[in-house]
């Protein structure tokens, strides 16, 4: 048993979580997860209900938030490449200036999302619904928006070059603020 405890403790250090952070950022119900500014290899919260999570300026190598309900998330200036938000419901997110390249938002519902200036290159929003979202100056080059629904979304200055628009057409290079 002692070897198992050492292995678990070693794993927590390897993925960048202190024991206290691992405790507050795990389980099916997460009240307040504060990982601001931390570097983490793996953070698997798939299927959880999260009241509040702060990943501002954090770097997470493998972030699993699929099938998750998130009430409030701060990911401002975070590095969350390849994050999985598929089929999640996000009530409030601030991911301004975040790096979310190749992230999956497939089938997700985002309400009150600030993604202004975020790098969403090759992100997958297929079948997603965005309501009251700010995507101004976001980089969505090569993103998949097929089948997505948008309600009150600010696209001002968003780079949609090579993105697949919600109706399936390919946006031309230089598409800024709208798919051309």
- The per-residue pLDDT for range 39-66, each reduced to its tens digit, is 999 999 999 999 999 999 999 999 999 9
86 vs 2: which has the higher pLDDT: 86
Q: Residue 171: which residues within 8 A CB-CB, separation 6 or more?
A: 160, 161, 162, 163, 164, 165, 179, 180
Rounded to 5°, the CA angle 120-125-130 comes to 95
CB atoms within 10 A of CB 127: 18
- The per-residue pLDDT for range 10-24, each reduced to its tens digit, is 333 334 444 445 557
Alpha-carbon 88 to chain mean position: 10
158 vs 4: which has the higher pLDDT: 158
Given this model, what pLDDT does residue 64 score?
97
Output the six-digit token pair for 134.
């700010």
Given this model, what pLDDT does residue 26 score?
87
* Confidence category of residue 27, pLDDT binned at 50, 70, 90: confident
Alpha carbon distances (Å) from 83 to 45, 60, 65, 105, 168? 11, 8, 7, 9, 24
């Amino acid at each position: 048993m002692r070897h198992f405890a050492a292995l678990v403790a070693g794993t927590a250090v390897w993925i960048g979580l202190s024991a206290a952070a691992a405790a507050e950022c795990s389980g099916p119900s997460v009240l307040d997860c504060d990982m601001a500014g931390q570097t983490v290899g793996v953070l698997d919260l798939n299927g959880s209900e999260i009241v509040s999570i702060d990943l501002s300026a954090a770097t997470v190598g493998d972030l699993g938030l699929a099938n998750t309900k998130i009430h409030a998330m701060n990911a401002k200036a975070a590095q969350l490449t390849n994050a999985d938000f598929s089929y999640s419901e996000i009530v409030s997110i601030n991911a301004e200036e975040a790096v979310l390249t190749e992230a999956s938002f497939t089938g997700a519902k985002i309400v009150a999302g600030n993604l202004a200036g975020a790098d969403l290159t090759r992100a997958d929003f297929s079948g997603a619904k965005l309501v009251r979202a700010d995507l101004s100056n976001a980089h969505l080059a090569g993103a998949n928006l097929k089948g997505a629904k948008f309600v009150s979304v600010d696209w001002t200055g968003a780079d949609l070059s090579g993105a697949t628009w919600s109706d399936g057409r390919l946006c031309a290079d230089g598409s800024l603020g709208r798919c051309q």
